[in-house]
């Protein structure tokens, strides 16, 4: 008789964690806008200069916030383990795309970046992280949506930049896997260290690539950099780091299927970039892909909690 309440409680639907909704909203909406922001900002700041300012600033602010909230300083081992993650996520994942954006539209950059989950699925088995059948369906649908978007987009004619653009998602995928596999520093000090290492790597590449700080900087450029630091890095990457630690990799990376459609639309509305009819069809396919991935991740999480 006493088992009835327990059975009813077990049968009751679990509430979705509001942090999950907030984190997904951050990476879906905010990160979609950063492609256009970067495209505009690199007219003033060279790509590595922009990245160094963005990630060194955001990382320092986030680490200071961690300390003010009573968090301990990361150990030497935690600092060193954050180095490959920061290099892969920011120097390769973000920096390569920023370099390519000097030659391609922001929407095109977002389209190519959206192949990250596919690379996670391809590279995951090397690290013991295998995608399930339903997740492969979501990946397939997402890739189809990206292909629809790419069918009406131009990648440009610079082969070197195209290679860098295509390598960006590989770096982001490997960095995302390492976040889950390597012990990380506590709380927000982990993403802070990732950004500090990434910003340091970009600062080292700054003179090698012949970049220099501009002699004149407009108020608009400063505002865009501030937006990228506060929202794109502090809010967006903290949300992404939470997703990597608390959800399935495919759900954490599902933003890749949403960002291209939003980035293309923002580029058209605010940046005057061309938009094609296939965007509407691709948006529907991408929406289904995200729904499949979210459903599988939620089902798996509930099974683990029983």
d(CA 125, CA 139): 15
Phi, psi torsion values for 152, nearest 5 degrees: -115, 20
Structure tokens at 108: 């095109």
Q: Predicted confidence band at 281 (pLDDT cuts at 50, 70, 90)?
A: confident
What's the sign of the alpha-carbon dihedral 38, 44, 48, 50? negative
Does the pLDDT of residue 26 top 80, yes or no? yes
Domain boundaries, the chain: 18-301
d(CA 303, CA 60): 39
DSSP letter for 233, please: I
- The closest alpha carbon to 139, from 166, 123, 112, 116, belongs to 116
Q: Which residues contact 100 (CB under 8 A, 6 or more apart)?
A: 109, 161, 162, 164, 165, 168
Q: Which residues contact 40 (CB under 8 A, 6 or more apart)?
A: 220, 221, 224, 271
Q: What is the pLDDT of residues 131-181, one digit of tens each?
A: 777 778 877 887 787 777 666 655 555 677 778 888 998 999 899 889 888
DSSP letter for 126, please: G
Q: What is the pLDDT of residues 222-256, one digit of tens each?
A: 999 999 999 998 898 889 888 888 887 777 877 87
Q: Quick one: CA torsion of 27, 172, 289, 24, rounded to 10 degrees?
A: -20
Does the pLDDT of residue 54 top 70, yes or no? yes
- Contact between 55 and 175 under an 8 Å Cβ cutoff? The reply is no
Q: Against a cut of 0.85, is the pTM above it? A: no
Structure tokens at 280: 């509407």
- The closest alpha carbon to 194, from 82, 88, 94, belongs to 82
d(CA 248, CA 253): 9
């Amino acid at each position: 008789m006493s088992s009835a309440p327990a059975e009813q409680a077990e049968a009751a639907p679990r509430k979705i964690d509001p942090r999950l909704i907030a984190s997904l909203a951050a990476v879906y909406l905010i990160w979609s806008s950063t492609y256009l922001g970067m495209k505009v900002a690199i007219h003033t700041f060279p790509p590595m200069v922009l990245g160094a300012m963005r990630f060194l600033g955001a990382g320092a602010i986030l680490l200071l916030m961690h300390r003010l909230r009573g968090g301990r300083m990361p150990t030497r081992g935690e600092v060193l383990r954050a180095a490959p993650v920061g290099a892969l996520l920011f120097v390769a994942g973000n920096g390569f795309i920023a370099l390519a954006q000097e030659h391609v539209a922001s929407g095109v950059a977002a389209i190519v970046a959206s192949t990250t989950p596919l690379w996670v699925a391809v590279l995951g088995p090397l690290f013991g992280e295998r995608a399930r059948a339903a997740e492969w369906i979501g990946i397939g649908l997402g890739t189809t949506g990206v292909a629809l978007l790419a069918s009406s987009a131009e990648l440009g004619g610079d082969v070197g930049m195209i290679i860098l653009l295509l390598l960006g998602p590989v770096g982001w995928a490997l960095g995302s896997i390492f976040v889950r596999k390597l012990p990380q520093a506590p709380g927000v000090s982990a993403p802070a260290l990732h950004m500090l290492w990434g910003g340091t790597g970009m600062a080292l590449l700054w003179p090698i690539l012949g970049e220099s700080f501009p002699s004149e900087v407009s108020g608009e450029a400063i505002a865009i950099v501030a937006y990228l630091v506060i929202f794109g890095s502090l809010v967006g990457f903290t949300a992404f780091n939470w997703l990597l630690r608390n959800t399935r990799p495919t759900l954490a990376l599902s933003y890749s299927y949403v960002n291209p459609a939003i980035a293309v639309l923002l580029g058209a509305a605010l940046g005057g970039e061309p938009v094609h009819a296939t965007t509407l069809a691709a948006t529907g396919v991408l929406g289904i892909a995200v729904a499949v991935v979210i459903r599988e991740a939620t089902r798996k999480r509930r099974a683990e909690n029983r």
